Amino acid sequence: MKNEIISIKPESIAEELGIEIGDFLISINDKEVKDIIDYKFLICDEYVDVEIQKKDGELWELEIEKEYDEDLGVEFKDPIMDRPMSCHNKCIFCFIDQLPKGMRETLYFKDDDSRLAFLQGNFVTLTNMSEDDIDRIIKYKISPINISVHTTNPELRIKMTNNRFAGNVYKRMKKMAQFGIKMNCQVVLCPGINDGYELRKTIEDLFILYPSIINLAVVPVGTTKFRDGLYPLKLYNKDSASKQISMVEKIQKKYIKEVGVPFVRLSDEFYVLAERDVPDKEFYGQFEQLEDGIGMIRIFRDYIDSSLDKIREPLSGSFTMVTGVSAYKEILSAANRIKFINDKIDIKVEKIVNNFFGKNITVAGLLTATDIIDQLKNKKIGKYVIIPDNMLRRGYELSHDNNKVFLDDMTVEDLSRALNREILICNFTGEDLVDIVIEHCEEE
| CATH number reported for the structural domain that contains residue 8 in this entry | 2.30.42.60
142 and 244 both lie in a single domain? yes
Number of residues assigned to the chain: 444
Domain-embedded: residue 84: no
pLDDT score, position 105: 62
251 and 126 both lie in a single domain? yes
Final residue of a structural domain among 16, 48, 76:
76
212 and 132 both lie in a single domain? yes
122 and 268 both lie in a single domain? yes
272 and 133 both lie in a single domain? yes
For residue 430, which amino acid is it?
G
Tell me which residue of 317, 327, 291, 348 sits closest to 437, measured CA to CA.
Answer: 317
Q: H or E element: which one contains 385?
A: strand 384-388
pLDDT tens per residue, range 235-255: 999 999 999 999 999 999 999
Tell me which residue of 10, 26, 136 sits closest to 76, measured CA to CA.
Answer: 26
Give the span between the Cα atoms of 227 and 242, in whole angstroms: 26
Domain-embedded: residue 88: no
pLDDT score, position 106: 61
154 and 266 both lie in a single domain? yes
Full-model pTM: 0.81
407 and 423 both lie in a single domain? yes
Tell me which residue of 69, 73, 28, 23 sits closest to 49, measured CA to CA.
Answer: 28
Burial (CB < 10 A; 0-12, 13-18, 19+), residue 91, is buried
Domain-embedded: residue 229: yes
277 and 365 both lie in a single domain? no
Tell me which residue of 15, 45, 50, 44 sits closest to 32, measured CA to CA.
Answer: 50
pLDDT score, position 69: 72
13 lies in which domain range? 3-76
| CATH number reported for the structural domain that contains residue 329 in this entry | 3.40.50
**Is 3:40 a contact under the CB 8 Å cutoff?**
no
Domain-embedded: residue 91: no
pLDDT under 70: residue ranges of the chain: 1, 37, 78-87, 102-122, 393-403
| CATH number reported for the structural domain that contains residue 143 in this entry | 3.80.30
Domain-embedded: residue 85: no
275 and 306 both lie in a single domain? no
Final residue of a structural domain among 254, 271, 294:
294
306 and 290 both lie in a single domain? no
CA distances from 4 to 49, 75, 77, 205, 253 (A): 18, 9, 6, 44, 51
Tell me which residue of 368, 431, 362, 345 sits closest to 100, measured CA to CA.
Answer: 368
17 and 51 both lie in a single domain? yes
CA angle 183, 188, 192 (to 5 degrees): 135
The total of structural domains in the chain comes to 3
Domain-embedded: residue 90: no
186 and 40 both lie in a single domain? no
Domain-embedded: residue 137: yes
